[in-house]
Structure formats: C-alpha cells, structure tokens
Amino acid sequence: MLLVEREISLPKMKTAVITGANRGLGLEFARQYRAEGWEVIACCRNPEDAVELSATGASIHKLDLQKLDSIDRFVSSLGQRPIDILINNAGIHDRSKEEGFSGIETERWVEGFKVNAIAPVLLTRALIENLSAARNPIAATIGSQAGCLTLYDTGGLYLYRTSKAAAHSAAVIMANDLKPFGIPYVCLRPGHTKTDMGGRDAPYEIDESVRMMRDVLDQVDMTQTGCFLDRTGALISWNMEEDLNE
Ligand SMILES: NC(=O)c1ccc[n+]([C@@H]2O[C@H](COP(=O)([O-])OP(=O)(O)OC[C@H]3O[C@@H](n4cnc5c(N)ncnc54)[C@H](OP(=O)(O)O)[C@@H]3O)[C@@H](O)[C@H]2O)c1
C-alpha cells in the first residue's frame, strides 16, 4: 500500500525522441531536456562518435534516416514506452555541395528528400502508439523558410528548398492524420542559427533558439496542429511574404 502511494506521488519523468541529436539544434534539444530531468532517446547515425551527446546522459540510438527501412526496427526497440515529444530535427543542407541548376547531384537530392521530408512521416507514423500513450503528446518537424515558395527569388538550392517544402506539406497532411489520436503536429522555425548548417555568421545562438522552441512546444495544443510556428510562438504563413532571416 505504502509503495503504491509513493509511486503515485512520484513526478512522472517525461520522454523526448530527437533525431539528428549528435550536433547542432538536436544536440542542444537533448542537452536542455536532459538538464530538466527528461529521458531523452537521442538518435544519430554514428553513436560511437557522439561524445557531446553521450555527456548529456541521453540514451543514444543508431538511426540513419536515409535507411528508411530501419525506422520501424528502431521503434520496435522502444516497446510500449510512452513518448511525450517527438522532434523530427535531422536535416541535410550542405551549401558547399549544392551547386546551381547545372550542378544538381541527383542521388544527393534523393537522399535529402528521404531525410528531410520522408523520414519524419515514417518515424511519426511508427511512433503513434508510443505518443498516444503519453498524457499530452506533441510531435514536430523543424521547418524552414527555405520551404516557402513565395520567397524564391533566386535559382539553385534544389535539395534543401524542395525537401523542406515537402516537409512542410507532409507536416500539414500528418496533422490531419493525427487528429483522431489527439496528437498535435507542428512545424517550428528556429530562425537562422549558428550551427554547422546555419553557419558562423547566423544571428542566433543555438541555446537561445532551442530554449525558445521548447517554450513554444510547451504551449502547443490541438488548436495549433498543422501550423508553422516561429520560435517566438508567432504563427507563420506557409507562403511567407517577407524574409525573416535577420
Ligand atoms: N540552423 C539553422 O539556421 C536552421 C534554420 C532553419 C531550419 N533548420 C533546421 O533545423 C534542423 C537541424 O539543423 P542544424 O542547424 O542543427 O543542422 P546541423 O548542425 O547540420 O545538424 C544536422 C543534423 O542532422 C543529422 N543528419 C543528417 N543526415 C542524417 C541522416 N541520414 N540520418 C540521421 N541524421 C542525419 C546530422 O547528423 P550527422 O552528424 O551524422 O551528419 C546532424 O545531427 C534541420 O532540419 C534544419 O533544416 C536549421
């Protein structure tokens, strides 16, 4: 009896699943959730090299999102475990390799589509039961204004732009599919942030962008499902008219 009472009064530890958690925004999400006592299921391609991630105390899982058939195996390894937050964060955008119209590398483009647009759908779908088992589950894609067609006033960057536009589209479609399960799905815009992808000259620091996106996630409910939300929490149009990258 005493044991039962103690169990009930214990605060329930929350769990986050984060992809691309070995560096950049994903690593910082892992750090911040761990610092607040969350369990973090951190996914990355090369766990043996994930030294900083390992230092957070996250549980590290090998997951290469180009290998789409490995997603179901990863999810099976979690069993029935409730998942409170899923952050589809992993992304590919290497400016140095993205040539213009004449330099498109078809295979890389397909790889980019798998990681940026298709994997978030397959991973979220595979985790539906785990998310449904949590009290107030939330799932998100890290979106980008690079996915907004209305801002395309130059050519080039086919891989990143088209795959992020597809990721946005997939997020809205998924938000509808997830409604019967009561799982809100949103796209978050971190803003131009100093990571390997964002570059050294980006205006925002990683810890600030992640803290702000976590604050937004804290407030998300079904009224915002299918929305594109700025790190400030402001609703962004899928067809942005103004470049917000300071
Ligand atoms: N930084 C910005 O300014 C900015 C702005 C808007 C949106 N975003 C979005 O935010 C997310 C994180 O970006 P970031 O700036 O943190 O980028 P980053 O520093 O380049 O990190 C990208 C992460 O994605 C992982 N990844 C790449 N390919 C993968 C694969 N096949 N399987 C699994 N993981 C893979 C990388 O792992 P490896 O180390 O193994 O390559 C790395 O952990 C992305 O979705 C990006 O589009 C970033």
> Is residue 11 very low, low, confident or very high in pLDDT (cuts 50, 70, 90)?
very low
Distance 93 CA to ligand 1 centre (A): 7
Domains and CATH numbers, the chain: 13-236 (3.40.50.720)
> Please, what sign has the CA dihedral across residues 179, 181, 182, 185?
negative
Contacts of 8 (CB under 8 A, 6+ apart): none
224 C-alpha to ligand 1 centroid (Å):
24
What pLDDT shows up at residue 157? 93
- Single-letter code of the amino acid located at 187: C
For residue 74, the tally of other CB atoms under 10 A from its CB is 21
Interval 205-223 mean pLDDT:
98
Span 191-214, mean pLDDT?
A: 97
**Position 5 pLDDT exceeds 70:** no
**Which residues line ligand 1 at a C-beta cut-off of 6 Å?**
19-20, 22-26, 44-46, 64-66, 89-93, 115, 142, 144, 190, 192-193, 195-198, 202
Cα torsion 128, 237, 209, 220: sign: negative
Distance 9 CA to ligand 1 centre (A): 39
Residue recorded with tokens 């999102």: 65
Which SS3 state, helix, strand or coil, does residue 133 take? Answer: coil
Ligand 1: which of 40, 63, 89 to mutate, most ligand atoms within 8 Å of CB? 89
Give per-residue pLDDT as tens, 62-119.
999 999 999 999 999 999 999 999 999 999 997 777 678 988 999 999 999 999 999 9
Per-state percent for the chain, helix, strand, coil, to nearest 5: 45, 15, 40
Cα 61–Cα 141–Cα 237 angle in degrees, nearest 5: 170
Give distance in angstroms: CA of 37 to centre of ligand 1: 24
Pair of tokens at residue 225: 């499902």
Give per-residue pLDDT as tens, 28-68. Answer: 999 999 999 999 999 999 999 999 999 999 999 999 999 99
Note the helical H segments in 77-157. Answer: 106-113, 119-126, 128-132
Distance from Cα 184 to the centre of ligand 1, integer Å? 22
Q: How confident is residue 184, by pLDDT bands cut at 50, 70 and 90?
A: very high
**pTM (whole model) above 0.75:** yes
* Residues β-bridged to residue 86: 17, 139
CB 168 within 8 A of CB 143: yes
Distance between the two ends of the chain, CA-based, in angstroms? 58
Instruction: Using most ligand atoms within 8 A of CB, pick from 195, 200, 230, 246 the residue to mutate for ligand 1.
Output: 195
Q: How far is it, in rounded angstroms, from Cα 68 to Cα 119?
A: 7
pLDDT averaged over every residue in the chain: 93
Q: What confidence tens digit (pLDDT) does each residue in 114-143 have? A: 999 999 999 999 999 999 999 999 999 999
Mean pLDDT of 13-40: 98
8 Å CB contact between 132 and 180: no
